[in-house]
Amino acid sequence: YSLDNTIEKDGQYLVIKLVDGQLHLIVLVASLHEDEDEIYQIQTKTRFNDGHWHHISLHRGSDYHLELISDSR
């Protein structure tokens, strides 16, 4: 992502957002050709809007493996 709000082609981007208490993870793999962009989305079943602080970590084990860990579990 560049300072002028454009997506650099041939890059990878990660978005984590909280929607109705659930974490949504979005991975965008941008291609030189827009019609070849890949978008992957997952969301947690667990809700995090319970009034407590939570620890969230994301581990990239390889190009095709992401692990989302909440509260060390």
Instruction: Give the H/E segment covering residue 23.
Output: strand 22-29
Say if 58 falls within a structural domain.
Answer: yes
Tell me the pLDDT tens digit for each residue of 1-36: 444 556 566 677 888 999 999 999 988 887 777 677
Say if 1 falls within a structural domain.
Answer: no
Say if 29 falls within a structural domain.
Answer: yes
Report which of residues 39 and 24 the model is more confident about: 24
- Global confidence as pTM: 0.66
Say if 4 falls within a structural domain.
Answer: no
Say if 5 falls within a structural domain.
Answer: no
